[in-house]
């Protein structure tokens, strides 16, 4: 080994020259510690200073798939980008809702739920999707039966995020249900039922955000921007709802890199 390199890379186990028998054979298993260390020295001396990888250039010419994660949101369709004043007003309204919820949480938690309200357990993903969205949306049933009774069947249309319901949800449940609905939204269309629950869960989300909640709301904002960009009919009501969620995630929860730039 080069002396200069030796000075830069001192041996961790320096071995002095030792008296080995004349019949020492480095190809056979060592019998003593001295023989073992001597064999290591010999093998190290045989290693080349530079090793060049053999790469087949034909493999590099083949098409390669690269997955790029979108960090920012898709811009709003032309003519639908929310103004800064509108965004600031939504943040102010949302902040007032959160303050009211915090102030009256204990009151609403003490209220009795109707007999038909059975909240799923925190880990019951399918149960929460049906509870929030209803069997029609969850099962993607568009037709309405002619034999329906008068009144609202919450099993079919989903339970709204009543204060008496969301006030009973701790932070672990809020985060779990938010994750379930965002997962569902990742492959399904946006619905009013989904929008109401997303707004309510965001209102229940405590700051500072836990890492898992931080990741979830960013995922939600990006998904909203994707759906908004693909909106063919330019449904103004739906675009406004998607704008609202993106606005709250970016401007209230301080994810400014996801914010819509005012027109």
Q: Biggest alpha carbon distance in the chain?
A: 104
* Residue segments in the chain with a per-residue pLDDT below the cut of 50: 1, 3-6, 8, 65-70, 143, 145-147, 150
Considering only CA atoms, which of 176, 86, 181, 89 is closest in space to residue 132? 181
- HSE, CB side, 13 Å, CA atoms: give it for residue 242: 29
Interior angle at CA 7, CA 6 and CA 9, nearest 5: 60
Tokens 């099993």 locate to 155
**With helix as H, strand as E and coil as C, how does 22-61 read?**
CCCCCCCCCCCHHHHHHHHHHHHHHCCCCCCCCCCHHHHC
**Contact criterion met (CB below 8 Å) for 255 and 221:** yes
What number does CATH give the domain 84-110+120-139+154-258?
A: 1.20.58.1070
Side-chain-side CA neighbours of 181 within 13 Å: the count stands at 31
Rg (CA), the chain: 32
pLDDT in tens, 56-69: 666 555 555 444 44
Query: b/e for 47-81, b at 16 or more Cβ within 10 A?
Result: eeeeeeeeeeeeeeeeeeeeeeeeeebeebeeebe
Which token pair is 37? Answer: 């260390």
Cβ contact 202:164 at 8 Å: no
CB 208 within 8 A of CB 149: no
User: Domain limits of the chain?
Assistant: 84-110+120-139+154-258
Residue 231: HSE in the Cβ half-sphere, 13 Å Cα cutoff: 26
Alpha carbons within 13 angstroms on the beta-carbon side of residue 197 total: 30
């Amino acid at each position: 080994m080069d002396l200069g390199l030796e000075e830069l890379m001192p041996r961790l186990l320096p071995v002095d020259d030792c008296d080995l028998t004349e019949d020492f054979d480095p190809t056979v298993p060592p019998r003593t510690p001295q023989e073992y260390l001597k064999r290591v020295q010999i093998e190290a001396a045989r290693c080349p200073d530079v090793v060049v990888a053999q790469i087949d250039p034909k493999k590099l010419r083949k098409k390669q798939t690269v997955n790029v994660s979108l960090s920012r949101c898709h811009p709003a369709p032309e003519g639908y980008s929310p103004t800064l004043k509108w965004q600031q007003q939504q943040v102010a309204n949302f902040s007032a809702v959160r303050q009211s919820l915090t102030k009256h949480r204990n009151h609403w938690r003490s209220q009795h739920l109707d007999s038909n309200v059975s909240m799923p357990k925190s880990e019951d993903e399918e149960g929460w999707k049906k509870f929030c969205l209803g069997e029609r949306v969850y099962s993607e049933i568009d037709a309405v039966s002619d034999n329906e009774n008068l009144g609202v069947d919450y099993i079919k249309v989903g339970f709204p995020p009543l204060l008496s319901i969301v006030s009973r949800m701790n932070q672990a449940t809020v985060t779990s249900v938010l994750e379930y609905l965002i997962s569902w939204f990742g492959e399904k269309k946006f619905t009013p039922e989904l929008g109401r629950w997303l707004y309510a869960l965001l209102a229940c989300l405590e700051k500072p955000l836990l890492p898992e909640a931080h990741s979830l709301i960013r995922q939600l904002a990006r998904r909203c921007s994707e759906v908004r960009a693909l909106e063919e009919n330019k449904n103004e009501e739906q675009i406004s709802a998607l704008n609202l969620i993106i606005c709250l995630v970016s401007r209230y929860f301080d994810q400014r890199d996801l914010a819509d730039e005012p027109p």
